[in-house]
């Protein structure tokens, strides 16, 4: 008879042997698929997927070993491959397996969403639970927005079969659909939402019809948008109908509705919509100043301060001060009062009224610490302190602008003043630095995904950080989207990072630098400055085309390019070709600069506003230096353009040359 002790030993030996065999097998498995081999299989699987060979892709993904960090991604991709060929059973199996093994994984949300979609037809109640779970636990995600639609659709299908809609159920369905349209009016499912909503209810609320109209507008179906907008109350829809009528080419109706809406109906719509209607009106008039005066005479409430701000902006220079004083006095709680006060301050600086300038400037900086005009006021407080010969104060103000607003146009101007440099060109040298993962702490796994080209999964990993998203788009070659994401993310940071921070390279990448440097040097232009013009003109989108016909990276009009080609002896060029466009843009910039005394600030202004306008301003404006000239440019668009180009120039210099 076997003793208890012998039995324990036998069991111990048995399990030890199993563990040893398992570990040995695992080692053999790993040795048979080293990391470089796993990467090769994964890459081949992705290539098969790109070539729409989903069966081969599914098989290759299945070969990724269980111990690889790529395994959860491979299981996810298997589910997607099964979806592509319509094999719901296999797709559901893979998604369920994923959630069982990796419930906390970054891809778990997307997997749960995909699983719910696959269950809609066979197990709708289960699918609905998944969708409701996503809405509850991940409310701010795109998956939650889409889940609103599918949750409503499941209820709709259920009660369509029974041909009865209890009021509570109908209300739930409408609530889901309404949430979708509010959160994603241009979402890919928006039109489906509208069509299904109209199936179940013939007495939809008027406000909901306006939601539907906005979706059709965003999809470019302006006639359908008009049809739905007419079912809403005009007092609520007029601002929207202004935009839609304009899109339909009916400018007279857009003009009429703007005037009608502002004359007593502005409080029924959001202020942003009122501003949009006003902006549309201003885009179709010969004189923004006269248009603002006219609309001010009609407007009774909301939008009056905005119109006053527009009037002041476009007033003749000798009327601006009085206008801004009225704006400041009449609308003391307006969101535009900081603009008014900054302009009153700037006037005092211009007329050398040092005492009032200092008083107003200090008051501004105390009241409007987060205002976008704070860098302007802080910089000119430095100029005022210079005039007052207060060395300590002006040094302090200039340094404060640079430290608090390092990427701002006025930080650039402060740098020049601190270094007694009155030529706007600091350097022509930029040290080339590549766009890399935006944080010093490396993320090898994400960089591996980028190398493998698995951008679909990479975007899921990047969803929590706009800088990483920006980097993903950069790796995909979508430079414009990358820059916009990084720019907006940087603007949201209250404290800006050091100039060596890798995130800055996403905001200001060195794109097309070889061509820019080559052609700029060839005609005596400053390469970083030309790069800045390219950035502001097109955000490095070589296919950019403006509404008036300007083309390419440097947004050249074909007629202008033709004149430049004739002058410089260029016989063959294509503005859609990045290199050709940069070449012609450099020739054009060099030409207008030569006509304007070789001054870059004048040439930048002329690139946007025209040579004739710049010559006229130089004769009519009472300015003493570059700052004074730029601040008095009477076209706000051109003034802002000059500041944006010089801001970009400053940032390229400080990020890539060490200033």
Radius of gyration of the chain (CA): 31
Q: Is 537 one of the catalytic residues?
A: yes
Class of domain 524-656: mainly alpha
Q: What is the pLDDT of residue 158?
A: 82
Distance in angstroms (rounded) separating the CA atoms of residues 450 and 468: 11
Q: Nearest CA to 563 among 592, 598, 532?
A: 592
Q: What is the pLDDT of residue 51?
A: 96
Q: What is the pLDDT of residue 287?
A: 94
556, β-bridge pairs:
551
Using 50 as the pLDDT threshold, list the residues of the chain that sit under it. none
Domain ranges of the chain: 35-203, 205-314, 444-507, 524-656
Choosing among 2.102.10.10, 1.25.40.10, 1.20.1090.10, 3.40.50.2000, the CATH entry for 35-203 is 1.25.40.10
Distance in angstroms (rounded) separating the CA atoms of residues 238 and 232: 10
Q: What is the pLDDT of residue 159?
A: 78
Q: What is the pLDDT of residue 14?
A: 67
Q: Could you read off the pLDDT of 513-534 as tens digits, one per residue?
A: 999 999 999 999 999 999 999 9
Q: What is the pLDDT of residue 20?
A: 63
Indicate the pTM of the whole model.
Answer: 0.88
Contact residues for 622 (Cβ-Cβ < 8 A; gap 6+): 632
Q: By percentage, how much of the chain surpasses pLDDT 70?
A: 95
Write down the catalytic residue from 537, 563, 631, 637: 537
Q: Could you read off the pLDDT of 280-310 as tens digits, one per residue?
A: 999 999 999 999 999 999 998 899 999 999 9
Distance in angstroms (rounded) separating the CA atoms of residues 358 and 346: 10
Q: What is the pLDDT of residue 384?
A: 96
The answer to whether the CB of 655 falls within 8 A of the CB of 431 is: no
Q: What is the pLDDT of residue 497?
A: 95
Find the angle CA(57)-CA(59)-CA(65) to the nearest 5 degrees: 110
Q: What is the pLDDT of residue 485?
A: 97
């Amino acid at each position: 008879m076997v003793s208890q002790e012998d039995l324990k030993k036998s069991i111990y030996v048995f399990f030890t042997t199993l563990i040893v065999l398992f570990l040995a097998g695992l080692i053999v498995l790993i040795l048979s698929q080293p990391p470089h081999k796993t990467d090769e299989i994964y890459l081949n699987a992705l290539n098969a997927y790109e070539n729409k060979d989903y069966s081969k892709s599914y098989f290759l993904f299945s070969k990724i070993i269980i111990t690889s960090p790529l395994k959860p991604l491979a299981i996810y991709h298997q589910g997607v491959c099964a979806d592509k060929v319509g094999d719901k059973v296999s797709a559901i199996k893979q998604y369920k397996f994923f959630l069982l093994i990796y419930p906390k994984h970054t891809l778990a949300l997307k997997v749960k969403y995909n699983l719910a979609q696959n269950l809609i037809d066979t197990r709708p109640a289960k699918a609905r639970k998944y969708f409701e779970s996503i809405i509850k636990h991940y409310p701010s995600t795109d998956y939650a927005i889409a889940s609103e639609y599918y949750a409503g659709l499941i209820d709709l299908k259920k009660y369509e079969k029974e041909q009865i809609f209890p009021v509570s159920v109908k209300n739930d369905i409408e609530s889901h659909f309404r949430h979708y349209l509010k959160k994603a009016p241009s979402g890919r499912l928006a039109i489906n939402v509208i069509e299904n909503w109209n199936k179940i209810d013939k007495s939809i609320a008027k406000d909901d019809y306006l939601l539907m109209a906005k979706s059709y507008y965003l999809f470019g179906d302006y006639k359908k948008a008009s049809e739905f907008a007419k079912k809403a109350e005009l007092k609520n829809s007029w601002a929207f109908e202004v935009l839609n009528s304009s899109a339909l080419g009916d400018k007279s109706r857009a003009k009429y509705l703007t005037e009608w809406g502002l004359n007593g109906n502005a409080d029924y719509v959001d202020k942003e919509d009122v501003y949009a209607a006003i902006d549309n009106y201003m885009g179709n008039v010969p004189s923004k100043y006269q248009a603002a005066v006219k609309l001010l005479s009609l407007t009774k409430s909301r939008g009056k301060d905005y119109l006053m701000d527009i009037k002041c902006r476009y007033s003749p220079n000798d009327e601006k001060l009085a206008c801004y004083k009225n704006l400041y006095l009449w609308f003391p709680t307006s969101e535009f009062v900081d603009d008014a006060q900054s302009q009153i301050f700037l006037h005092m600086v211009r007329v050398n009224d040092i005492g009032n300038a200092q008083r107003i400037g200090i008051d501004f900086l105390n009241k409007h610490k987060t205002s976008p005009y704070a860098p302007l006021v802080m910089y000119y407080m430095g100029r005022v302190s210079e005039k007052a010969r207060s060395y300590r104060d002006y040094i302090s103000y200039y340094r404060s602008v640079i430290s608090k607003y390092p990427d701002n146009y006025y930080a650039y101007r402060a740098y020049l003043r601190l270094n007694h440099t009155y030529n706007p060109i600091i350097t022509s040298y930029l040290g080339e630095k590549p766009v890399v993962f935006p944080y010093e702490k490396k993320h090898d796994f994400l960089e591996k995904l980028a190398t493998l080209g698995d951008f679909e999964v990479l975007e899921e990993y990047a969803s929590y950080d706009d800088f990483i998203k920006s980097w993903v788009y950069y790796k995909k070659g979508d430079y414009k989207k990358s820059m916009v994401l990084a720019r907006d993310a940087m603007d949201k940071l209250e404290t800006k990072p050091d100039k060596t921070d890798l995130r800055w390279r996403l905001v200001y990448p060195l794109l097309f630098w070889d061509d820019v440097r080559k052609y700029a040097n060839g005609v005596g232009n400053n390469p970083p400055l030309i790069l800045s013009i390219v950035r502001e003109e097109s955000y490095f989108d070589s296919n950019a085309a403006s509404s008036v016909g300007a083309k390419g990276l440097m947004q050249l009009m074909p007629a202008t390019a033709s004149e430049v080609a004739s002058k410089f002896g260029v016989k063959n060029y294509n503005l859609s070709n990045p290199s050709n466009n940069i070449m012609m843009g450099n020739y054009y910039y060099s030409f207008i600069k030569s006509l304007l005394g070789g001054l870059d600030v004048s040439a930048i202004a002329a690139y946007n506003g025209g040579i004739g306008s710049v010559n006229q301003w130089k004769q009519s404006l009472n300015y003493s230096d570059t700052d004074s000239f730029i601040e008095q440019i009477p076209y706000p668009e051109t003034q802002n353009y000059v500041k944006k180009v010089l801001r970009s120039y400053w940032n390229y210099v400080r990020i890539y040359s060490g200033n």
